[in-house]
Amino acid sequence: MKVAVLGLGSAGRRHAENARALGHEVVGFDPADPGAAVSMEEAIAESDAVVVASPSALHAEQAVAALAAGKPTLVEKPLAATVDDAERVARVAREGGVVCGVAMNLRFHRGILGLRDLLSDLGELRFARSSFGYDLRLWRPGTDYRSSYSAQAALGGGILLDAIHELDYLLWLLGPVESVAAELDRVSDLEIDVEDTALLSLRFASGALGAVDLNFVEPSYRRECLLVGSDAVAHWDWNGGEITVRRGDEERTIDVACDVQETYRAVLEDFLAGGEPRTSAAEGVDALRVVGAARLAAANGVRQSVDGAA
């Protein structure tokens, strides 16, 4: 296949390298390169499938262009920068009968897959906590963090969108969210115009409660998830590469150490294999509805319902 990669920053270059490693031809286009050899339209026209890996604010425009041309499209997370744009992407894909997926690589991580496999052992889920933190200045060594899309509202930045993985996998594990309360703020000295910290309180349609804390400020990498069920508790620790399961006085650990690069390759391989991607455009919209509700809740200081919740 020939794969068009739109956006050749770190994520786009990784997709291009993985596509070539899987035996596919790549045609690249970067909106930040005024002297690009091919235009976006030419790259799409030449391709059999499209990967959108530009800054988040450009995802909807580029995805719609690819889908309107009838090309199966994989969009880097998030599906779009706003709920309205995400719904537009999903609608174009649905009405055109074209495959559209979202590159949520944590759905391929052994830690999240391990938690999913344990759901039946935990009993009725009552509470979940998902956490991520890492200083933005350390994310992309050798680059100025202030120039990254993560740091700029105009490009779709902010920790809430950048770490949308946590919301996505909670929805995958616990089902739809009914309402959310939130605090979003910049609490550090980072030179950014977006939030560097997000605290969310979730109420799931199932009746379970959830807490999500995300930040751009921690000096060392941290990612973890706690699931509290009626029968047992499971805790996944990224750094330790294991899940600890506790039931009364009993405790066991499951090795889920994983090379994160494998998850990126798995996302692309899953998409290029055809069929329904592991994370659909509709699921990408669901995660953004939670983001949109969180922004409204933080701005208004009240719990906000999530449109589209079951």
Positions annotated as catalytic residues are 77
Task: Give burial (CB, 10 Å; 0-12/13-18/19+) of 146.
Answer: middle
Tokens linked to 127: 């509470």
104 Cβ partners below 8 Å, 6+ apart? 77, 165, 168, 169, 267, 278, 279, 284
At 288 the three-state DSSP class reads: helix
Alpha-helical regions (H) of the chain: 10-21, 40-46, 59-68, 83-96, 110-122, 159-162, 164-174, 260-272, 281-300
Determine how many CB atoms are found less than 10 A away from the CB of residue 190: 18
The torsion of the CA quartet 281, 284, 289, 291, rounded to 10 degrees, works out to -150
Read off the amino acid at residue 118.
Answer: L
Tokens representing residue 177 in the block: 């969210």
Per DSSP bridges, beta strands 2-6 and 49-52 are parallel
Question: To which residue do tokens 């709920």 refer?
Answer: 83
User: Using only C-alpha atoms, what is the Rg of the chain?
Assistant: 19
268's tokens: 């692309």
CA distances from 286 to 169, 219, 299 (A): 11, 31, 20
Sequence-distant (≥ 6) Cβ neighbours of residue 269 within 8 angstroms: 18, 22
